[in-house]
Structure 1
Amino acid sequence: MSLGEAGGRRHDSILNDPRVRSRAIQILLLILVAVFLYDIAANTAKNLASRNIASGWDFLSRSAGFDVVFSLVPFTSDSNYGRALLVGFLNTILVSALGIVFATVIGFLIGVMRLSRNWLASRAAALYIEFVRNVPLLLQIFIWYKLVLKPLPEARNAIKFGEIGALSNKGLTLPAPIFAEGAWMAPLGLLVAVIASVLIHGWAKKRQTETGQRFPSGLTALALLLLLPPVFFALAGWPVTFDYPVMGSFSFRGGATLVPEFIALLLALSIYTAAFIAEAVRAGIQAISHGQTEASRALGLRPGPTMRLVIIPQAMRVIIPPMTSQYLNLIKNSSLAVAIGYPDLVATGGTTLNQTGQAVEIVLVWMAVYLTISLLTSGFMNWFNTRVRLVER
Structure 2
Amino acid sequence: MAAAVPPSAVTPWWRDRRWIPWIVQGTVALAVLVVVAFLLGNLVRNLTAAGLLLSWRWLGNPAGFDISETLLPYDASLPYWRALLAGLANTLRVVLAGLVGATVLGTLVGTASFSSNGLLRRLARVYVELIRNIPLLLQLVFWYFVVFLALPNGPDALQLPGVVLARSGLYLGWFTDPLHLTWAGPHLEGGQWHAPLRLTVEFGALLTGLVVYTGAFIAEVVRGGVASVPQGQWEAARSLGFMPLQTLRRIVLPQALRVIVPGLNSQYISLAKNSSLAVACGYSDLYSVAETTLNQSGRAVEVMLILLGAYLVLDLLISALMNGLNQLVQLRER
Q: Same fold (TM over 0.5)?
A: yes
Percent identity among equivalent residues?
40
> Residue 380 of structure 1 corresponds to which residue in structure 2?
321
> Residue 291 of structure 2 corresponds to which residue in structure 1?
350
* 1:310 maps onto 2:251 in alignment: yes
* 1:273 maps onto 2:214 in alignment: yes
> Residue 211 of structure 1 corresponds to which residue in structure 2?
none
Q: How does 1:12-91 map to 2 (within 5 A)?
A: 12=12, 14-91=13-90
CA, structure 1 residues 358+251, in 2 after alignment: closer, same or farther (shift >3 Å)? farther
* 1:170 maps onto 2:145 in alignment: no
Greater mean deviation of Cα atoms: 109-118 or 298-307: 298-307
Unaligned runs of 5+ in 2: 1-5
> C-alpha displacement at 1:9, in angstroms?
5.5
> C-alpha displacement at 1:254, in angstroms?
7.7
Greater mean deviation of Cα atoms: 153-162 or 271-280: 153-162
CA, structure 1 residues 314+61, in 2 after alignment: closer, same or farther (shift >3 Å)? same
> C-alpha displacement at 1:360, in angstroms?
0.8
Give aligned pairs, total: 329
In structure 2, C-alpha distance between the alignment counterparts of 1:267 and 1:253, rounded to whole Å: 22
In structure 2, C-alpha distance between the alignment counterparts of 1:44 and 1:243, rounded to whole Å: 57
Q: How does 1:112-151 map to 2 (within 5 A)?
A: 112-151=111-150
- Aligned residue for 2:72, secondary structure, equals coil
CA, structure 1 residues 82+134, in 2 after alignment: closer, same or farther (shift >3 Å)? same
- Aligned residue for 2:74, secondary structure, equals coil
Contact persistence 1:111–1:279 (CA under 8 A) = yes
Letter in 2 for 1:338: V
In structure 2, C-alpha distance between the alignment counterparts of 1:254 and 1:78, rounded to whole Å: 29
- Aligned residue for 2:76, secondary structure, equals coil
In structure 2, C-alpha distance between the alignment counterparts of 1:248 and 1:39, rounded to whole Å: 64
Contact persistence 1:128–1:275 (CA under 8 A) = yes
**TM-score normalised by the chain length of structure 1:** 0.77
- Aligned residue for 2:171, secondary structure, equals strand
> Residue 110 of structure 1 corresponds to which residue in structure 2?
109
Deviations 1:139-179 (A, max 9, x none): 111111001111112346544556x4533212113468889
2:280 paired residue among 339, 359, 370: 339
Letter in 2 for 1:300: G
Letter in 2 for 1:353: L
- Aligned residue for 1:117, secondary structure, equals coil
Deviations 1:63-109 (A, max 9, x none): 11111111000111112110111011111111111101110011010
Contact persistence 2:171–2:194 (CA under 8 A) = no
In structure 2, C-alpha distance between the alignment counterparts of 1:318 and 1:266, rounded to whole Å: 27
Contact persistence 1:95–1:266 (CA under 8 A) = yes
**TM-score normalised by the chain length of structure 2:** 0.89
Unaligned runs of 5+ in 1: 180-229
CA, structure 1 residues 358+176, in 2 after alignment: closer, same or farther (shift >3 Å)? farther
In structure 1, C-alpha distance between the alignment counterparts of 2:286 and 2:122, rounded to whole Å: 39
> Residue 286 of structure 1 corresponds to which residue in structure 2?
227
Deviations 1:113-152 (A, max 9, x none): 1111111111111111111111111111111100111111
- Aligned residue for 1:257, secondary structure, equals strand
Greater mean deviation of Cα atoms: 367-376 or 151-160: 151-160
Greater relative CO, 1 or 2 (CA 8 Å, sep 6+): 1
Aligned-CA RMSD value: 2.6
In structure 2, C-alpha distance between the alignment counterparts of 1:314 and 1:161, rounded to whole Å: 39
Greater mean deviation of Cα atoms: 153-162 or 81-90: 153-162
Contact persistence 2:176–2:196 (CA under 8 A) = no
1:328 paired residue among 236, 260, 269: 269
In structure 2, C-alpha distance between the alignment counterparts of 1:337 and 1:51, rounded to whole Å: 32
Deviations 1:224-252 (A, max 9, x none): xxxxxx7xxx5xxx7x9999877666745
> C-alpha displacement at 1:361, in angstroms?
0.7
Runs of 4+ in structure 1 displaced over 6 angstroms?
Answer: 176-179, 240-246
Letter in 2 for 1:316: L
In structure 2, C-alpha distance between the alignment counterparts of 1:291 and 1:245, rounded to whole Å: 51
